[in-house]
Amino acid sequence: MDSNIDLARDKFQIDILISAAEDKPFSLTELAEKLGISRKSLADAVQKLKNKKIVKKLGRDKYTLSEKGLKIRRTLAELATSTKTMSESIYDIFHIIMIILTLGTLEREWVPLSTLAKHLHEDKSRIEKLVKDYSNEKILKVREGVTGLELALTFEGRNLYNNILDDMGVGAYSLKVLKIVTGSPSPFQALKRFLLINLLFGTTTLIISLFTRYALIAVAAWIMTSLYVMILIYSKT
């Protein structure tokens, strides 16, 4: 539970939700070919979804989304205009949310890109692209530091971070307490552990009231945080 999360593995589970047809069963062989991944990797992801009762098995190499799986898929579909772009747009938003949470919980204003990439287990070039793509939102600021590019939350970004924490029932000061209670020296890890505990007690429903231009991020924060923590719960690594 405390080990590093393999985002590539988790992505397979979401890709299955997005790619599986709503009105007919799918086979591992066909879906693996469609997604361009190995059948073994897909089988592992399907088994995890099956354990969560999101996918159900109909027969030999035949699966379908359960009612629960269909509801999750339809919710995800609302965040994108087409199946072709759905996975990419959702993951972009998810990573921006994780960047905001990471920058907010680290105990310094300016964070080197290399440090942020290490915390997120993400390529630096990927983060740079996301920051550029979301530059119009004015939630992140960038400067050239001694060791390279550095990032920080803007005033709007800090407000977004605080709103997310407030709606979770967590204040910035509380993070210091969480580091002690959860036994984690990292505020980011402490927050992730708190989210897990919060979900287990059924109290992670996020109702975020933000400006219109942040509406998509706010909705995605609720959906992706719940899905992310759900994956954490059932992950054995």
CATH of the domain at 103: 1.10.10.10
Say how many domains are in the chain. Answer: 2
Looking at the structure, tell me whether residues 102 and 73 fall in a common domain: no
Q: Kindly state whether residues 155 and 87 are assigned to the same domain.
A: yes
pLDDT tens for each residue of 27-60 = 888 888 887 778 888 888 888 888 878 888 888 8
Do 60 and 99 fall into the same domain?
A: no
Last residue in a domain, options 77, 105, 132: 77
Positive or negative, the Cα torsion across 155, 208, 86, 39?
positive
Domain that holds residue 39: 7-77
Confidence of residue 158 (pLDDT cuts 50, 70, 90): confident
Instruction: Tell me the per-residue pLDDT of 55-94, one tens digit each, with 9 for 90 and over.
Output: 888 888 888 888 888 877 776 665 444 444 445 566 677 6
Last residue of a domain, one of 60, 77, 94: 77
- Pair (59, 146) in one structural domain: no
**44 & 89 share domain:** no
Entry pTM: 0.45
Instruction: Compute the distance between CA of residue 63 and CA of residue 180 in angstroms, rounded to an integer.
Output: 44
181-200: average pLDDT:
54
Q: Which residue has the higher pLDDT, 30 or 197?
A: 30
- According to the model, what pLDDT value does residue 216 have? 54
211 versus 14: the higher-pLDDT residue is 14
Q: Are residues 64 and 145 in the same domain?
A: no
Same domain, yes or no, for 137 and 212?
Answer: yes
pLDDT at 139 over 80: yes
Between 35 and 195, name the one with better pLDDT.
Answer: 35
Residues 174 and 203 in one domain: yes
The DSSP code for 5 is P
Q: How many Å apart are CA 222 and CA 56, to the nearest integer?
A: 25
Q: Virtual CA dihedral for 6, 9, 14, 20, nearest 10 degrees?
A: 180
1 within a domain of the structure (yes/no): no
Whether 44 and 97 share a structural domain: no
Amino acid letter for position 206:
L
What percent of the chain has a predicted confidence (pLDDT) above 90?
A: 1
The string of pLDDT tens digits covering residues 204-225 is 344 444 444 555 555 555 555 5
What pLDDT shows up at residue 187?
52
Q: Is position 2 within any domain? A: no
Based on the fold, state whether residues 193 and 89 are members of the same structural domain.
yes
Q: What is residue 186's predicted lDDT score, i.e. its pLDDT?
A: 52
Domain boundary residue, one of 61, 77, 93: 77
The percent of residues above 70 in pLDDT, for the chain, comes to 53
* Residue 197 and residue 115 share a domain: yes
Q: Is the pLDDT of residue 232 over 50?
A: no
Element (H, E) at 140: strand 140-145
